[in-house]
Structures are given as C-alpha cells and as structure tokens.
Structure 1
Amino acid sequence: MGGGFFHFGILGFILGPLIIAYLIIIIEVYKTKNAPTFFVKEEAQ
C-alpha cells in the first residue's frame, strides 16, 4: 500500500491532492445544496 507518488510518480503527487480537494468541494455543495458563488452566474442589473 503506497501513496499516489509511489504508484503514479510525480503525476500522482500533483493530482492526488487536487482530486481530494475537488471531492471535498463536491461533497460540501451536495450537503448544503448551495453552490459557492464561483459556480453561479450572477445576474446583471
């Protein structure tokens, strides 16, 4: 059992934390049912 760096080299070292961060954001949005403002288009007035 090795980490992403052991299995995938430098690509795993970079992509592993990014995938975890995006997964946390997706779970948070799903739980709150409220997307952060950078996902929502603001209406011009």
Structure 2
Amino acid sequence: MKAHNSKKVIQYSYLFHKIGILDDEQYKQIEEYHGLKEKKKY
C-alpha cells in the first residue's frame, strides 16, 4: 500500500512540476525521496 502511495505522490508531483507549481529542485527531492522508499521495499 505504501509503495502505491509513493507512486501516486510521484505522479502528482510530476503533474505539479509540469503545471509549474514545483520547480526542478523540489520535484527532484520528492522523486528521490519516494523513489528511495520504493527501492527499500524490494
């Protein structure tokens, strides 16, 4: 369930990034944080 949530967060942060709410740095931080959480699960 948590991995699913992380995927959703990445998708939403990507959308916000595309729209321009998040800048590149914020997006990278979110993606790295949730990406690392995903990797730890497996």
TM-score range for the pair, normalised by the shorter chain length: 0.3 to 0.5
TM (normalized to structure 1)? Answer: 0.43
Greater radius of gyration (CA): 1
TM (normalized to structure 2)? Answer: 0.46
Work out which structure has the larger RCO, using CA pairs closer than 8 Å and 6 or more positions apart in sequence. 2
